[in-house]
Amino acid sequence: MLKRRKVRALDTAPKTFALMRMEFVVRAVQLSDRLAEMIRNAGEISEFQSWLRASFSGIHYLRRRETLWEKALNSLPDTPLIFIEFGVAKGYIGHYFFTNLLSERPFHWFGFDTFTGLPRAWRGMPPGTFSSDGMVPDLPDGQFRWFKGLVQETMTEDLISEMFSIDGSRILFFDFDLREPTEFVLESVIDLLSVGDLLYFDEAFDGDERAVINQLLSGHRSFEAIGSTATALLLRVSA
Ligand SMILES: C[S@@+](CC[C@H](N)C(=O)[O-])C[C@H]1O[C@@H](n2cnc3c(N)ncnc32)[C@H](O)[C@@H]1O
């Protein structure tokens, strides 16, 4: 009798535990939209980490994106730097590099943004999110150049030739969040990238950017992973 009761308890224990976990998630989701979003994000981040492990062996994980940018800079030869930033908003990345990382190093900075925010909704955020009301970042004019409007219109053939004919090492920052402009840019520049150029994807964990990264990885150029954070990925062109 005692034995049978024990067996039954063992049978049901794992099921009960799994049910409790599901119950916890259901209750949390019912409790608040914010909690529901956090749980969804945690799922995506965990899926991103599994994808990273499967796609690149031994990829270096860093907690902060700023540390990953520093790693990017340190991995480049001591040549002039060409930064091409896709998705600027209020200019956090430019300010961070200018204040903390560039000191006397010669560089050119090209930044593309509507400066009126996202052209369409993304992850529950309405169009216009990240707007700087048309204002460009307050950074030195000689080194920083800003291109206002949809990148599909502002990144002309002439501008592409100019950005890719300067001698130096290039870092491309992708932070448009949306698939369409990210895809447009990569299709426009893929054949102009040199071995050693770096590509940073700020939202690689999200479906929009990841779809473009997957296309990139299955295309005719080769890439190695330099590092990642919980949500971002840094690649180097290797062939
Ligand atoms: C997440 S924000 C950039 C954040 C910024 N890199 C930072 O770290 O603070 C995304 C930006 O992409 C811009 N953007 C999205 N699609 C665009 C497009 N097709 N053309 C130009 N800018 C676009 C939005 O205006 C928005 O400012």
Q: What is the pLDDT of residues 104-161, one digit of tens each?
A: 889 999 999 999 999 999 998 999 999 999 999 999 998 999 999 999 999 999 999 9
Retrieve residue 4's tokens: 């049978």
- Asked whether residue 35 falls in the same domain as residue 146, the answer is no
Q: Let me know if residue 158 belongs to a domain.
A: yes
5 pLDDT more than 80: no
What whole-number distance in Å separates Cα of residue 122 and Cα of residue 7?
51
Average pLDDT over residues 189-218: 97
Ligand 1 neighbour 209 (Cβ under 6 A): no
Helices (H) and strands (E) in the chain, counts: 8, 7
Domain endpoint, select from 55, 76, 97: 55
When pLDDT is cut at 50, 70 and 90, the band that residue 9 belongs to is low
Phi, psi of 230 (to 5 degrees): -65, -25
CATH of the domain at 111: 3.40.50.150
For 34, the domain range is: 2-55
Q: What does the pLDDT read at residue 86? A: 98
- For residue 26, the model assigns a pLDDT of 85
Percent of the chain beyond pLDDT 70? Answer: 94
d(CA 143, CA 109): 6
Asked if residue 21 has pLDDT above 90, the reply is no
Total domains in the fold of the chain = 2
How far, in Å, from the CA of 64 to the mean position of ligand 1?
Answer: 20
Q: Is 25 helix (H, G, I), strand (E, B) or coil?
A: helix
What's the burial of 53, exposed, middle or buried (CB within 10 Å: 0-12/13-18/19+)?
A: exposed
Distance 154 CA to ligand 1 centre (A): 14
Residue nearest to atom 9 of ligand 1 (CA): 92
CB of 92 shorter than 6 A to ligand 1:
yes
**pLDDT for the residue numbered 13:** 64
| pLDDT (0 to 100) of residue 119 | 98
Question: Using a 6 Å cutoff on CB, does residue 130 contact ligand 1?
Answer: yes
